Amino acid sequence: METVERLIRSTQELLWERGYVGTSPKAIQLAAEAGQGSMYHHFSGKAELAKAAIERSGAELRAAADEQFSGAATGPGSGTATAGTATARIAGYLQRDREVLKGCRMGRLTADPDVIADPVLRAPVAETFTWLRARLAEIVAEGKESGEYPPGLDPDRTAATIAAVLQGGYVLARADGSDEPFELAVQGLVDLLEGVAS
């Protein structure tokens, strides 16, 4: 299983850095320090290995998000959000440490035409973002129920906005070559959430 783990981990990294087309079986084998026979013993080919890697990236993203959603905001600029509030939990997720200029592991795959054209590879990407929006909507709904957010705040629209700001922040940062546009977008969103919170 150690070889399988190395193959999946290497494929995750290569997909993040190079995309699907740029991730050749040879590059995977070199990065994983695995021979061609080992790779094809465990996986039928690049597509099956890529699917396993994308599924793993999605699972890791969900686990990291859940960790933030269950805690309080600890990052810089967490403002006046009280620990455990919906705003604090969302801010904790938005402000966690990230490799901003590398972009989001899953978000970058949405710009990969080969991943999006293949329903098998696209499915775990779509499932991850669907899960994220649903989880954010739950937290916003909890904030409404507790009286933190006004009754008119729509959880689904707010969740989609949060996800879009985060992904858009990555794009702006990569275009600028600086984390600053990402940090401004995230802090601006936290400011807005704090502004509607009572």
Domains detected in the chain? 55-196 (1.10.357.10)
Is the CB of residue 75 less than 8 Å from the CB of residue 92?
A: yes
Residue 77 has pLDDT above 60, yes or no: no
Q: How confident is the model at residue 75 (pLDDT cuts 50, 70, 90)?
A: very low
Scored b (16 or more CB within 10 A) or e, 39-50 reads: beebbeebeebb
What's the whole-model pTM score? 0.87
Residue 82 has pLDDT above 80, yes or no: no
Over pLDDT 70: what percentage of the chain? Answer: 93
The residue count for the chain: 198
Residue 98 has pLDDT above 90, yes or no: yes
pLDDT in tens, 131-180: 999 999 999 999 999 999 999 999 999 999 999 999 999 999 999 999 99
Round to whole Å and give the CA distance between 186 and 182. 6
pLDDT in tens, 22-35: 999 999 999 999 98
> Residue 195 class from Cβ within 10 Å (0-12 exposed, 13-18 middle, 19+ buried)?
exposed
